[in-house]
Structure 1
Amino acid sequence: MTVPPSSGPEASSSKPTRARWVIGLFLCLGTAISYVDRANLSVGLPFMEADLDINKAMTGVLLAAFFWTYAPGQLLGGRLVDLVGPRIAAGFATLWWSFFTAINAVAGGLATLLIFRLGLGIGESVAPSAFGKVVGRWFPLRERARAAALYDSGSRLGTALAFPIVSLIIYAFGWRASFVVAGGLGVLWVIGWFGYYRDPEKHRFANDAEKRLIREGGARIRADHDDTPQPTVRWRDLLRFRTVWGMMLGFFALNFAFYFFVTWFPSYLVEARGMDLLKIAWVGVIPPLVAFFCEFGGGALSDRLTRRYGPTKGRKIPIVSAMVLASSIALAAIVPSAAVAVGLLSLSMGCLAVAAASIWSLPADVAPSEGTVGSVGGLQNFASNVAGIICPIFFGLFAGTGSSAFVLPLVVTGGIVIVGAACYLLICRTFEPLQLPQTRTTQPEGAVR
């Protein structure tokens, strides 16, 4: 691809500008807002149940409902991103989910909450593939895990911010106001996104040196307006590769543990550890905040190992070792001290974040072409978010049975994480671009099948 000269203020400079890292910050903030929006219900539910007459069993169903549309939406979302590009897909998806967040303020009962939760899942399902594609386009291979860490750290930041922000809004104004505020954050992000984001070759703040760094460093570059025929790959073509299956199964296991923190962690602090609203507002911040900083370390480690050993070892070493350590979530179920339990949960979530920094790099690492990064990411994310359907219901089966309600679910979760580490180690072979025996090409508008 020929990249036109930059017209930005630093076009003549030989030092690369850092527009790509501003883009990465946008991805981080967008992800953070999405997690504030989805975690809003988790934080508010212990205080909404009485108002809306929701029992504990239905609480698990309600928390899982988001994933009924979010998980399958990953597949269609990946195709949509490959078709229209990440700029349009991410912007309009964020507007969609912001609406379905704010409208929770008028919920009158379980039925309306379920409908709004399903709508939220549809909108948020587009973001992972869109943001993953942006990472592939904007960042060379040697920076990709750090960029993925910056992007995905938004999930930890959003989860952390949801506790104090939502709790304090509920305390001051009630739970309905918290949804309106959260929805407004997404609208503000969209305004900034459409104003700033362009692909590298058309970005006014990226100079020639930065564009060259991106292009020659192995970024998966292709502009949304580029009409060059691209290979098209069906899902069943991708599913013939054991590496894709390993990515799907391994990410399912990681997210099974992570979604405990997004859905049931506030209730765990209330029911199993006896904390009140103001206390969980601050204690609940600790594990996701630890994870937020750990993810940057995981990204830097992965990129360093990749430069030294190549992408296969560079990704596998941090993923497998961190997931083994993340199984410490099981120990948090059996220790008597609340402080020790929170420490173990912080260790677990931090290690999940270290592994995630490499995992989010994989679609751009293994996709057969730039035009299929979204589809590979969609498959990986679909499987991982099936865990979001199962995890809340699984924990909900034991909720309300006293302080020991979380013991068995957390022990089982620790075992699932170990199995996930084995999937990355044994099922995945190499993290290199997949080689298809026959590749079809077509114009971009015909890419969706």
Structure 2
Amino acid sequence: MESDSLTSGGERAPGRATPGSKVGRYRYLVLAAVTLGIAVNYLDRATISVALPDMEADLGMSDALAGVLLSSFFWTYSAAQLPAGFLAGRLGPRKLIALSALVFGAVTMLMGLAWGVGSLVVLRLLLGIGEAPAFPAAAQVVSEWFPKGERSFASGTFNNGNPIGSTLCIPLVALLVASFGWRASFLVTGGLAVAYAVGWWFFYRSPRESRRVGDAELAHIRSGQEERADAEQPVAVSWKSLFRHRAVWSMMIGFFCINFVAYFFITWFPTYLVNTYDLTLLNFGFLGMVPGIASMLGGWTGGLVSDWLVRRGTDLTTARKGCLVGGLLGTSVIALAVVSPGVGTALVALSVSYFSSTFAAASVWCLPADVAPTAAHVGSLGGIQNAAANCAGIVSPILIGVITGITSSFAVPLLIAGGVAVLGALNYAFFMPRLRPLTTEETA
């Protein structure tokens, strides 16, 4: 095979692989590194959920106040998605992900030193800002490193960092809290994020800058991306005008519905299982992993199914919509936990719901690359849909906390979550238009 040469700017000039060259798999190592970053991101944000019962007792918090504390993270996290998406296309994933992990790691460590609810709220607000760039930057990495026919699996994999981090958080933080107290758990998980920031900075390079990716693999990556550009002929669209497009609004509404359910698992799920079924924190540490493991399988399954449909010639819109609608209908099964007679059947319903949620989310994170008018817009579109999605993180924890405080039960919140999932399925089925690069012609 031919070797690429370096341009004066430090990028590799386009090279060609000889016929029959074996395509390398370095892009999957990059994907693993991105997924690890998302896992650390969720580990840090979910630490408070597992430590919350001890924190409530220590600091004298009511359920309603705990809901506000859990929600406060999303106030800034959601608002920071738009600038984070913009920065993803300007700074690039290497700088942005390293800076993000450094900031949210340091803030998480400071939470272990918090002296009251007020200081915890302020730190949760800062944590939201620090974690905001993770998903827009990860979507940018996938758009750079993967052709269209592999993006759903790649997106489902990095999105699996969510359940991986949340699931590992349960036994790790439960053990830390039981052994050393809730403050130590924040110091440990925050330290892991700082270590990741350093590792990412030295590891990551774009495909054009990396000397570790072979010519055949680089040609494979570019062929899928060039095919999209040639076939669709996208027209440049200004950042503000993205909000005029119906596809963008459908992306925002649908992801809000997915996250409304998903954030139950990240915020109130530990308290729900411990209080409803009278479990100890250590017992929960084992049982609570079951839905998380199911969600990991859901993310990979959703990615494989969507990519398989695209590769076999299924229309892109049909492939994405089928997985999104089916996944959200499965997510609505969370409502069945209300009528579960015991912890075992409740875990089954919750596991099916979480599996289906990440099954749908695998296609959600393909949408920015599917409809972006230019490569620079992928991060912006990822930030826009993630901003709307994480408004669910503002609404869901407070709503669940208030209703649970009034009714002393999680029944009504779980029924609401099931209804929101059905609404999301209807949005993708009937409101989302055909998927293609956005132009100035189609508006909402």
TM-score range, shorter chain: over 0.9
Aligned to 1:399: 404
Aligned to 1:442: none
8 Å contact kept, 2:250–2:428: yes
Aligned residue pairs total: 425
Alignment pair present for 1:164 and 2:175: no
Cα distance, 1:431 vs structure 2: 1.7
How far apart, in 2, do the equivalents of 1:112 and 1:204 lie? 46
Alignment pair present for 1:50 and 2:57: yes
Alignment pair present for 1:255 and 2:262: no
Q: Deviations over 1:20-49 (max 9, x none)?
A: 101100111100111110110011011111
Q: Deviations over 1:227-254 (max 9, x none)?
A: xxx946223x111111111110010000
Alignment pair present for 1:370 and 2:386: no
Paired AA for residue 186 in structure 2: F
Alignment pair present for 1:121 and 2:125: no
Q: Tell me which of 35, 41, 54 is aligned to 1:34.
A: 41
Paired AA for residue 320 in structure 1: V
8 Å contact kept, 2:237–2:373: no
How far apart, in 1, do the equivalents of 2:226 and 2:280 lie? 48
How far apart, in 1, do the equivalents of 2:174 and 2:315 lie? 45
Cα distance, 1:337 vs structure 2: 1.5
Q: Tell me which of 202, 206, 209 is aligned to 1:195.
A: 202
Cα distance, 1:134 vs structure 2: 0.5
8 Å contact kept, 1:81–1:129: yes
* Larger CA deviation: 274-283 vs 381-390: 274-283
Aligned to 2:9: none
Paired AA for residue 152 in structure 1: N
Moved over 3 A (4+): 2-7, 219-222
Q: Tell me which of 236, 239, 242 is aligned to 1:234.
A: 239
How far apart, in 2, do the equivalents of 1:197 and 1:246 lie? 33
Paired AA for residue 184 in structure 1: G
Q: Tell me which of 394, 409, 413 is aligned to 2:413.
A: 409
How far apart, in 1, do the equivalents of 2:218 and 2:397 lie? 44
Cα distance, 1:400 vs structure 2: 4.2
How far apart, in 1, do the equivalents of 2:227 and 2:338 lie? 43
Q: Tell me which of 349, 352, 373 is aligned to 1:347.
A: 352
Over 3 Å counting, the alpha-carbon distance change for 1:58 and 1:178 in structure 2 is same
Q: Tell me which of 425, 431, 440 is aligned to 1:427.
A: 431
Show the 5 A alignment for 1:220-299: 231=236, 233-235=238-240, 237-299=241-303
Cα distance, 1:293 vs structure 2: 1.6
8 Å contact kept, 2:59–2:116: yes
TM-score (norm 2): 0.92
SS at match of 2:390: helix
Q: CA RMSD in A?
A: 2.1
8 Å contact kept, 1:4–1:201: no
Alignment pair present for 1:214 and 2:218: no
How far apart, in 2, do the equivalents of 1:3 and 1:187 lie? 34
Alignment pair present for 1:323 and 2:328: yes
Cα distance, 1:399 vs structure 2: 2.6
Cα distance, 1:311 vs structure 2: 1.5
Cα distance, 1:219 vs structure 2: 6.8
Alignment pair present for 1:385 and 2:373: no
SS at match of 2:80: helix
Aligned to 1:447: none
Paired AA for residue 96 in structure 2: A
Alignment pair present for 1:155 and 2:162: yes
Unaligned residue ranges in structure 2 (runs of 5+)? 7-11, 230-234
TM-score (norm 1): 0.91
Over 3 Å counting, the alpha-carbon distance change for 1:232 and 1:198 in structure 2 is farther
Q: Deviations over 1:130-175 (max 9, x none)?
A: 0111001100001000100110011010110010000001111111
Over 3 Å counting, the alpha-carbon distance change for 1:437 and 1:145 in structure 2 is same
Cα distance, 1:4 vs structure 2: 4.2
Paired AA for residue 287 in structure 2: V
